[in-house]
A = this chain, B = another copy of it.
C-alpha cells in the first residue's frame, strides 16, 4: 500500500507511544475508582491528581481550577451554559464571534432559544475579531465574552490578551476555546486574563474523549452534568483515569518542545504555502498571514470544489480537510470562510492542511506535486472555470 501522508492534525492526532504507555497501567492494573477509599484505588486517585497538577501548571492555573470533561465540546458547552445559568440574575447577554467552532456557536444558539441575547462579532478579512465592535457591544447585561483562541479552519489567532483586558475592565467573564491552541502557542490564563478555557486531549497527541474546562476560582460554576461528587461536585461521572493521564502526559510532552517544534512547523507551513501560491493560479491564502497557528495552511482555489479535491488527494495517499472534520458531512460552505468575506463558490473550494510532528519537507513537496495536476483536472471539469476563461480570455 502506498504511504499515507497525514496532514489533518487539526482534525485529530495519533496518541504518542509514550502517552499510550502512561495510560496502559490504568486500564488493567491500577483500575480502581478514584473515589474508592481502599488503598488499591490510591494509584488512580494519585494519577488523577498528578494529571490535574500537570495540566494546571501547563496553563498557569491552580489545580482546583481544572475540571476534567469528556471532550472539548463538553468543556465549551459547560463554560457557556454554566455561566449563563449562574449569572442569569446579572444579565442575559453573551458576546461571541462569527468564526467560533460549532460547539460554541450551537451552545449560544441554544441559549438564544432560551431567553438569552447573543452578539456574534464580525471578523476582518484575516479572521480577526473587531475589538471596537467588541467594546461597543458590551452592555450592562453582558455576562460573558466567548472568543476562540485560534481558529480550527483558518488558523487565525485572536488578540486574546486584548480581549482579556477589555473583559476585565468591563467586569465581564471571558471564556476562550483553546482547543486548537494548546501545544502550539503559549497559554497562560493569568497573563492572558482568561476566566474560562476549553481544552481537548486528542488535538495534541493525547486520547480522544477527554477534555478540560479551566474555570478561575472566582467564577461561580454550576454543574452541567449532575451526578456523583467527582470534580469537587461539579462534574458527575467516574473519572476517565487512563484518558486523563494520557492527556496530561501529552500536554507535558507538547509543552516541553513547543518552541522548537512550532518554529519547525512554521517554516514548513510558510514553505508549502509559498510553493502552492507560486504554482497554482487563482489561489489565495485564508486567515491571517502571520497571526496564525504554526501548523495551519488554508488556501482557496477558485473554480473548484473542496470535496472533489480531497478525494483526489486521498487517492494519492494525502489526508487533508476542507473546513472542519466534524462538519465535513455538511453541505454548507464553511461559516468561517463566509465570515471572512469569501463568496459562496470560492468558500467551497478551500483546502486545509494542518501539520504535525511527523510532517516533513518531503511531505510538503509531495503535496504540491500532487496538488497541481489535481487542480488543473478539476478546473478543466468546472463550468465556472469555463465561464471565467470565456469572459476573460
Residues of A within 8 A of B (CB): 4, 6, 8, 11-17, 20, 24, 27-29, 31-33, 35-41, 69-74, 76-77, 101-103, 106-107, 109-110, 200, 202, 207-210, 223, 225-230, 236-243, 307, 310-311, 313-314, 318-321, 324-330
A5 to chain B, nearest CB (A): 10
Q: How far is the CA of A329 from the CA of B41 in the complex (A)?
A: 13
Q: Which of A12, A102, A202, A329 has the most CB of B within 10 A?
A: A12
- Distance between Cα atoms of A113 and B271 in the complex (Å): 57
User: Which residues on B sit within 8 Å (CB–CB) of A237?
Assistant: 70-74, 103, 209
A227 with B329: CB separation less than 8 A: no
Cα A15 to Cα B243 in complex, Å, equals 13
In the complex with contacts A70-B237, A237-B70, A325-B209 CB distance below 8 A: no
A38-B320 CB under 8 A given contacts A28-B15, A102-B228: yes
Q: A36 to B14, Cβ gap below 8 A?
A: no
B326 touching A238 by the CB < 8 A rule? yes
Given A32-B319, A77-B227, answer yes or no on A200-B238 (Cβ-Cβ < 8 Å). Answer: yes
Contact (Cβ within 8 A) B40 A202: no
State whether A73 touches B225 (Cβ < 8 A): yes
- Are A37 and B209 in contact (CB-based, < 8 A)? no
Task: Tell me whether A319 and B225 are in contact (CB under 8 A).
Answer: no
- C-alpha spacing A6/B38, complex, angstroms: 10
Residues A102 and B227 in contact in the complex (CB < 8 Å), given A31-B13, A32-B319: yes
> Could you say which residues of chain B place their CB within 8 Å of the CB of A15?
27-28, 31
- Inside 8 A of A328's CB, which chain B residues have their CB? 35-37
